[in-house]
Every structure is written in structure tokens, then in C-alpha cells.
Amino acid sequence: MSASTNTRAQPGSTVLWEKGDAAGHDMLGTRTFGFWLYMLTDAMVYAALFAAFGVLAHNAGLTSKSMLASVFDAQAAYRDTIVLFTSVLAYGYAMVALKKGSRGGVAIGTAVAMILGLVFLAMVGSDLERLFSQGIVPQLNGFLSIVFTLIIYHALHIIVGALWMLVMLMQMGRDGFTSNVVYRLINLRIFWHFQAVIWVLLFVFVYLQGKII
Amino acid sequence: MFVHLQGPWNPVWGRLSLQAIPYQNPILLGTFTFAMIAALAIVGAVVYFRAGPYLWREWFTTVDHKKIGVMYCLLGLVMLFRGFADALMIRTQQAIAVGPHSPGYLGALHGYLTPFHIGQVYTAHGLIMVVFAATPLLVGIMNIVVPLQIGARDMAYPYLNALGFWLTAAAGALVMLSLFVGNFAHGGWYGFLPLFELPYSPGVGVDYWMWAFQLSAVGTTMGSINLIATIVKMRAPGMTWMRMPIFTWASLSTNLIALTSFPVLMVSLALIGLDRYFGTHFYTAGQGGNLMLYNDLFWVWGHPEVYFLILPAFGMMSEIIPTFSEKTLFGYATMVVASFAIGGVSWGVWLHHFFTMAAEPSVNSFYSVTTMLVGIPTGVKVFNWIFTMYRGRVRFELPMLWALLALFLLLVGGMTGMMNAFATSDYMWHNGVFVVAHFHMMVLLIAASIFGGVEYWFPKVFGFKLEQRWGKWFFWFMVLGTAWVFVPMFILGFAGMTRRLDYIPVTQWAPYLRVMLVGMAFYVMALGFFVAHLYVSLRDRVKNRVGADPWGTTRNLEWMTHSPVPAYNFAYIPHVHARDEWAWRKEHGMASLGNESFEDIHMPRNTGVPVLLGGLAFVLCFALVWRIWWLAAAGLGAVVLVIILRSFARDTDEVIPAKTVAGVEGGAQDALPAPARG
């Protein structure tokens, strides 16, 4: 079918051009859409890392599970989880405050989320410190290499997220809720939830696996 | 924390020392001289014409998608030249180093390249052609054409777009630098594990390879996010999904592939990095490492990457063939479905790169079948193009010639690809030159489409047509070269020649290898004609000036605006009424209905931050290659700081006043020709 036979139109009555400045489009929508795309790439990074985890755990065989059970502290990880999820909850409240347009609410929620994120970081850090001091290091074998890589790559997200929150607090203080600040806050929500989802996977595959399965 | 190195290292210079500069190698010395003369000529010209501020203002700091696209294409062409020089060296070496009595020069036992040197040459050839020539050229063309085709003023993220380009350019610079400082990886462009582990490749070659690859992957991923968001979010009113031009569809499919596959490449390379820098055991032969993990991760990216390259090529063919057949594209909907089918299947075929690596028969069979499945949507495309030409008024202008060459090469490459898809027969010629000849057919089809696309869209970007005479010489010598190089290569593949040989033990192959060298001579002449083609076109640019629609029978939105395209693309955003909107308007006598009054246009302001970040990324990667830790830390810190500081910038937009727009439009309005035919 020729596309040009779709419709018959008269030059006089056909709208050919969009008047008015349409260049802006839907700024918030475009920015968050792109950030979802970015999140997809990060999800693919984790997909590849977890695939490597599966392969290298298979290599290690039965020892992988006993290693997980004896080396990693599930109860400490449970405490980490509570802290991290409280942080996500606090950021959720910040987003509720954003809908109401409350600058103070957003600031408090973000600050609490940031501090809890840093607390989580310190807890994971001390846990890693303890393992390293016992000689349990990524260089020991392929399985530990991937386990520590997963944990540290997730921790990197916490560092980036906390830095991002700090920047947002400053920009909010300076500019208020401009469209730049708002889309960044919304994207940060996507990012912060995403890392929490990844933590769930880490908790299940690394910290719990040796305990219950 | 870091692994113990075998060689010397000091805290200030890392592994860098004067010994890293290969001044004793006459070939590299010659290359260095050539590069320096070229660089001096360019710098001299810039200083003489006082072009520095202009270049900085209009090009280096630009966020205009067309200019970024042009810079991508220039980068691609420079790297294409480098990759071609590598190919020339491989072919010459293989033509000389045949049999035990073959002569040796320049310290090589046979031929003139030592095994270590030719190893670097073919690694660089592969990496450069795939990642630094074809990819930038295609990304560049998508950058230029997609926003115009969907009736947008700019892309979704102009700043990210510039950043993606400068990261890619930094990666290309890193590869080039490895020529003169240190060396390059010598084990093949896709890496071999555990050969690429530190104990077996203790030099910096693998690090250069890894960081350049990684950096370009980051750049391409950014580009893909930008292009997808542009296509999804920035289409002109009335442009529904099924009114989108096929090239835009192909770009969407191809960038979805990039978006999902490049992160996997980053992981596969990063894990090599962890092994090499921290001594982990992802890919080591012992201690719980797994070599096949690398092959799987790499080719999970690697095969989708092939389709990432070929889909825009198909898209360009789908634009060129209807224009020069003076017909609408046959089977639009099937073309869309086929593009996405190819994109989808690309994720399920990677194992065919290592059928021989002891997977179960059921696994090999599965990947055999999925590989053959690719032939179905590709076949649909081939028939669509043929039916588009059928009963059309085919004009054999240069873009059409290239598109037809691409179609022909697709048939040759596709058929031999089907032969490779059989796991059983693949056992016979795995890692042989039959496979090499096959995938060169495919990448040459991509190259042919690129040349066709450049010929086709050049007048849109620069406002004048490329001349035809030298262009045809260029075309026919490319055809000759391709035939003379790759027909013997197919034959040698059947004869059992394996790839990447620095010395050929079988003297009976000598005639074929020399025929291939003749083919290379044709390619060299083609390069000369290409230069003449560009020179004559530039010289006669005033004579060859064209209006909005230089080919007369074009169909899509990009031909509706002026040539060269103004910074804002469209003075007014067009309303789209049909598939092939421009053809529709011409048919209904609405081609010349312009506007009289103009409005202010908001555009993003130029910024030097992307080029700064590109430079910092280059410093960071260079420091990591040479293990200069303080410099790496400083580079990383600077990158983070610049990104944060940039986020505080408020003044990132500017307004093009209505008066300026009216000036541009008024001047150009007369150049709009009456539609010729169609």
C-alpha cells in the first residue's frame, strides 16, 4: 500500500506546521525516560555479574555453599537490610513531600536517607574489613572474587547515591523546585529503589544461600 | 592491594619509561614521522588561518547533533584509514612470508613483521575496524539523520551526545597512542583468556586494549540512551510509530541492542581488569577461575554488536533504494518486524563463535538453529529491496550503486554465514580464513552502505553534492579490490588456512596470497580515488550547490528543511500526515508552502564540559594503563568534580531570536526548488 494514498488533503485546510515553541517537549518525561534506559544498562551489568556468580559458584561446587555459610554473616546482613530499607523509606517520604511541594519535607527525607545510606556503607565496610583481616580476600579464588565484586559494586552505588543526595540538598537550597532539581530528585528515587532491589538479590544469593538452602 | 608486577615500577611514572618508546622499530618510526607531519600540517593550518577560536566555538564545544555527527564520521574515517593501513601490513606480510625459503627483513625471520608485531597489527585492525571505524561512522550518520527524520530540533540529551562523542574520541586517541608509547595487545581483538592475564601478557598492550575498548563502550552506551530517548520522546506531532522512516526504525532497534549488550562487554572487560590489577581469579586457569566465562560474556555482547552494526546499514539501504527506484519502500511493516526480529535473535546466537569448545551436541544444535533463524528476517529484507526496485525507475547514481553493492555482498556474506551456522561444518573451518572472508563480506556490506549513506546525505549536511566521476572510480576499484582479496580468501579457507598467521608454511598457497595482494593494490588505488573524489567535490562546491531536495525523489522529513540544515533544523516543527511525509506533501502540492512569520527558538547552549571530560577520561585511562596511581586518582577525582560542578550550571540554554531565524529562512527560501519528479 502506498503511504501517500492514506488520505486526500487540501493545501488550504491542512495543518502543516506546529506553531509555538514545541522544542521543549515534555522535559520531565524525557529525562526520567532516559534514566530508566540508564537503569536498564545497570541492570544488564548486574545480570552479567550474577551470571558470572552462577558460573563461578558452579566451579567451586559444594564448597561455595559451605563457604558462604561459614564466611558471611547473615544476621549482620539482615541489620544492613533494615538500615538500607529505612533509607529507601525515608527517601519515599521525601518524594511524598515533593508532591506536596514541601521543601523542608524533601530536605529532611533526603538527609535521613543519605545518613542511613552512609551508616549502611560503614556497616558493610566493617564487615568487609573483618573478612579481609581474617585473610578472606577476593584474591583467594574465583568464587570469592565474584562475591566481593558484587558487594563492592553495590556499595559503589551507595556512595554515588549519597553523593547525589548531598548535591541535591545543595541545589534544592539554592534553586528550590526548578524543573532541573525535580527531575533529578525523581531520577534519584529510581536509582535508590534500584540499588535496594539489587541488595535483595545480594542478600538472598550471597548471605542467605548458605544458611537455608 | 594491587598485584605484584614483574617489571620496574616507580610511584611517579608508574611503568612508563623511555624504553616504552619503540624508536628502534623503523616501521613505527616511519609511522611516527608521518603522523607528526600530518599533525604539524593540521596545527600549522589552524594557526595560519587563525581557525582555533572558530573550531573551539563551532565544533569542539558544540552540542548540535549534526556537527557531532560530522565529527563522529571524521573520527571514523581517520580510524578507517588506520585500520586499512593495518590490513595492508597483514596482507603484505602474508604475501612475502610463504615457505621456509621466504626472505626476512627488519629483524623478522620471514616477511618483515615479527610475530609479536603482526600480532599487534591484526589485533589493532580488528578492534579499530569494528569499534573505532564502523561504529563511529554509523553512530555519526544516525546522529545526523534521525532527529531530522522525526522532525525534531535536537536530540533528547545534546550534552550527553557530545560527551559520548568525546569519550569515543578519547578511546580512539588511546589506541593511536599505543603505537608510539608502549605496545598494543597481540592476541586478537576479542581477547584470549588466560593469554590476556597478567602472567602471560605482562606488558601494557592488553591494558591499552582493555581501557580503549571500555571507554568506547561507555561512549556508545551513552549514545544509545540518547538516540532511543530521542526516537521515543521527540517525534513531531502526527508521527505515529508506523509513520516513522525505516532508518529511524533501524536506529531504534540497533540502539536497543547497544543499550542491552554494551554493559555486558563492560563487565567482561572489567573482570579482566580486576584479574590484571588486583589479582582476582575470574578467568584464570586455576583457583576456581573460568576461561569460558569470558568467551560467553564477551560474545553475548559480540554477536549483538554485529547486528548493532548491520541494522543501520540495512536502514540506509532502505532509504536509498526507494529514492533511486522512485517508489515507496515495498513491505514497510515487514521491514519493521524484520529489524526487530534480527535485533531479538541477535541475543540467542552467541555460542556459534565457539562451537568447537566442547559444548554438548544439544547446545550446539540449539545455537545452529537460532543462527539459521537470522536468515529469515534478513531474507525478508532482501526481497523487500528487490521488490522495491521491481518496476521502479531505477537511477544508478552513486548512493544507489553503493546500496546495490551492499545488497550483493549481503547475499555472499549471508549465504556463507548460513554455511558457518552448521556446527558440524564449523568444526572444519573454525578459526580459518573462510570465516574471516565471510565476516569481511558482512562488514564490507556495512562499509558499502556507509559510503552510500554518506553520498546520499552529504548534500543535506553540507549543502553541496559530491561529484560523481571520481566517486564512480572509487566505487569500481572498491568492487575490484573486494573481489580480488576475498575470493582467494574463501578458497584458502576451504584449503585449510587458519587466520592470523605470521608465517605460511604451505607454498602452494602463494599464488592466492599474491592475488590478494593485487586486490590490496586496487584498494590503495580506490583510496586515491576517494581522496580525489573529496578534493574535486570540495573544489567545485559552489558549482554543486543544491537545494533542500537534491535527489528530487526523496521521501522523508529530512529533505524538507534546507541544505545545509540550519542549527534549529526546522523553523517550525512539521505536522506529519503520512508515512513518507515529504513525498506526500510533494504529491499534494504542499512542498513549497513555507512560513512567513517566525518565532524565537530555544536551543541548548554550547559547552566545553564534554571535551574536558573526554580529555580527563583519556588521562585517567592512560594513567591506569601505565599504573600511575596518583594520576589515575587525580583524573577520577577531576571527572567526578567536573560532573558535579556542571550539574550546578543554570545557564545551559539560549534563544535564537525570530529575526535570526527569519534571516536564515529568507535567504534559504529561494533555494527551495520545485519538486522535480515523484
For residue B550, say if its preceding peptide bond is cis, omega within 30 degrees of 0. no
| Nearby residues of B373 by Cβ (< 8 Å), 6 or more positions away | B345
User: Which of B194-203, B354-363, B403-412, B610-619 has the least mean pLDDT?
Assistant: B354-363
Q: Kindly report, residue by residue over B466-500, the tens digit of the pLDDT.
A: 999 999 999 999 999 999 999 999 999 999 999 99
Task: Please give the Cα distance from A195 to B233 (Å, whole number).
Answer: 26
Is position A6 within any domain?
no
Residue of A nearest to B568 (CA): A23
What's chain A's Rg over C-alpha atoms?
A: 23
Percent of chain B with pLDDT over 70: 97
Would you state the cell numbers that stand for residue B611, as one nine-digit string?
Answer: 571535551
How far away is chain B from the Cα of A11, in angstroms, using its nearest Cα?
A: 6
Interface touch A18/B260, C-beta < 8 Å: no
Task: Provide the sign of the torsion angle of the four alpha carbons B197, B200, B206, B207, taken in this order.
Answer: positive
B317/B447 Cα distance (integer angstroms): 12
Query: What's the confidence (pLDDT) of residue B590?
Result: 83
Q: Which B residues, 576 through 605, put their C-beta within 8 Å of a C-beta on chain A?
A: 577-580, 583-585, 587-590, 593, 595, 599-603
Query: HSE (CB half, 13 Å, CA atoms) of A207?
Result: 20
The partner residue sitting opposite A16, judged by closest CB among B574, B583, B648, is B574
Minimal-distance CA residue of chain A relative to B652: A180
Mean pLDDT, rounded, for B63-69: 96
Host domain of residue A122: 28-212
Nearest CB among B259, B264, B600 relative to A21 is that of B600
User: Does position B401 have pLDDT exceeding 80, yes or no?
Assistant: yes
Residue B311: pLDDT band (50, 70, 90) is very high
Looking at per-residue pLDDT, the higher value among B64 and A18 belongs to B64
Nearest residue on chain B to A148, alpha-carbon basis? B280
pLDDT (tens digit, 9 = 90+) per residue, B315-373? 999 999 999 999 999 999 999 999 999 999 999 999 999 998 878 889 999 999 999 99
Mean pLDDT of B151-171: 95
Question: DSSP letter at B133?
Answer: I
CB-nearest to A44 from B160, B264, B289 is B264
SS (H, E, C) B348-407: HCHHHHHCCCCCCHHHHHHHHHHHHHCHHHHHHHHHHHHHHHCCCCCCCCHHHHHHHHHH
pLDDT-derived band at B141 (thresholds 50, 70, 90) equals: very high
Taking only the tens place, the pLDDT of each residue in B225-262 is 999 999 999 999 999 999 999 999 999 999 999 999 99
Question: What is the grid cell recorded at B671?
Answer: 533555494
**Beta-carbon neighbour count of residue A212 at 10 Å?**
8
Distance from CA of A14 to the nearest CA of B (A): 9
d(CA B460, CA B564): 5
Which comes out higher in pLDDT, residue B107 or B147?
A: B147
- Alpha-carbon distance of B476 to B522, in angstroms, equals 9
Query: Which domain CATH number covers A193?
Result: 1.20.120.80
**Residue written as cell 506553531?**
A19
DSSP state string for A6-61: S----TTT---EE-S--TT--HHHHHHHHHHHHHHHHHHHHHHHHHHHHHHHHHHT
- Higher per-residue pLDDT: B664 or B68: B68
User: Quick check: B647 and A20 CB within 8 A?
Assistant: no
Closest CB from A30, A55, A56 relative to B233: A30
Q: What does the alpha-carbon distance between residue B421 and residue B190 come to, in Å, rounded to a whole number?
A: 20
Could you tell me if B301 and B265 are in contact, meaning their C-beta atoms sit under 8 angstroms apart? Answer: yes
Residues in chain A with CB shorter than 8 Å from the CB of B568 are 23
Of B555, B92, B482, B105, the closest CA to residue B319 belongs to B555
| Rounded (5°) CA angle A34-A38-A40 | 115
Give the pLDDT band (50/70/90) at residue B101: very high
Chain A residues in contact with B595 (beta carbon < 8 A): 17
Helix (H, G, I), strand (E, B) or coil at B432: strand
> Per the structure block, which three cell numbers stand in for B148?
531530522
Q: What are the tens digits of pLDDT across the range B511-552?
A: 999 999 999 999 999 999 999 999 999 999 999 999 889 999
Of A17 and B452, the one with more pLDDT? B452
CA proximity to A131, closest of A76, A56, A199, A211: A76
* Between residues B350 and B7, the one the model is more confident about: B350
Q: Which of B207, B174, B179, B171 is nearest to B117 (CA)?
A: B179
Look at residue A2 in the predicted model and tell me its pLDDT. 44
B653 pairs with which residues across the strands? Answer: B604
Average pLDDT of every residue of chain B: 93
- Position of cell 565544533? B59
Is 90 exceeded by the pLDDT of residue B23? no
Burial class (CB in 10 A: 0-12, 13-18, 19+), B11: exposed
For position A3, what pLDDT does the model report?
46
Q: How many residues does chain A have?
A: 213
Q: Is the bond preceding residue B11 a cis peptide, omega within 30 degrees?
A: no
Is residue B672's pLDDT more than 80?
A: no
Q: Name the DSSP letter for residue B16.
A: -
Question: Is ipTM beyond 0.85?
Answer: yes
**Cβ–Cβ below 8 Å for B267 and A20:** no
Q: Largest alpha-carbon pair distance within chain A?
A: 82
Helices (H), B97-134: 115-127
Cα–Cα distances (Å) from B552 to B326, B385, B467, B537, in that order, read 9, 20, 17, 20
Q: From B412, B410, B255, select the one nearest B340 (Cα to Cα).
A: B255
User: Can you tell me the mean pLDDT for B25-48?
Assistant: 92
**How much is the pLDDT for B396?**
96
* Comma-separated ranges of CATH 1.20.210.10 domains in chain B: 1-289, 291-547
Range of weakest confidence among A171-175, B26-30, B126-130 = B26-30
d(CA A83, nearest CA chain B) in Å? 27
Q: What percent of chain B has pLDDT over 90?
A: 83
Residue B574 phi/psi, 5-degree rounding, is -75, 150
Mean predicted confidence (pLDDT) in B137-159: 95
Other beta carbons less than 10 A from residue B174's beta carbon: 24
Interface test with A, best of B239, B291, B584 (most A CBs within 10 A): B584
At B2 the pLDDT is: 83
Q: Is pLDDT at B8 greater than 90 in this prediction?
A: no
The CA distance from A143 to A61, in Å, is 10
How many domains would you assign to chain A?
Answer: 1
Other CB atoms within a 10 A radius of the CB of residue B659 amount to 10
Q: What is the pLDDT of residue A9?
A: 65
Domain with residues B291-547, CATH architecture: Up-down Bundle (1.20)
Give SS3 for B653.
strand
How is residue B104 annotated by DSSP?
A: B
- SS3 for B558-623 is HHCCCCCCCCCCCCCEECCCCCCHHHHHHHCCCCCCCCCCCCCEEEECCCCHHHHHHHHHHHHHHH
B573: nearest CB among A18, A47, A59: A18
The grid cell for A84 is: 538500607
Name the residue type at position B616: L
Give the amino acid at B587: E
Q: At residue B86, does pLDDT exceed 70?
A: yes
Nearest-Å Rg of the Cα atoms of chain B is 25
What number does CATH give the domain B1-289? Answer: 1.20.210.10
Report d(CA A105, CA A122) in Å as an integer: 26
Model confidence pLDDT, tens digit, residues B595-625: 667 888 888 999 999 999 999 999 999 999 9
Residue B592 has pLDDT above 80, yes or no: no
Q: Look at residue A1 in the predicted model and tell me its pLDDT.
A: 38
For residue B633, what is its C-alpha cell? Answer: 586518582
> How distant is the alpha carbon of residue B499 from its chain centre?
23
Distance CA B52, CA B60 (A): 10
pLDDT at B602: 87
Residue A17 belongs to some domain of the structure: no
β-bridge mates for residue B498, sequence order: B432
- Nearest Cα neighbor of A150 from B194, B270, B320 is B270
pLDDT of residue A14: 77
* Cβ pairs bridging A and B (under 8 Å): 176
All three cell numbers of B333, joined, read 511493516
Q: Tell me which residues of chain A have a pLDDT lower than 50.
A: 1-5, 213
The number of angstroms, rounded, from the C-alpha of B449 to the middle of its chain's C-alpha atoms is 12
* Residue B267 contacts A where some CB pair is shorter than 8 Å: yes
Kindly state the cell numbers that stand for B162. Answer: 557530545
Q: Residue A175: its chain B contacts at CB < 8 A?
A: 650
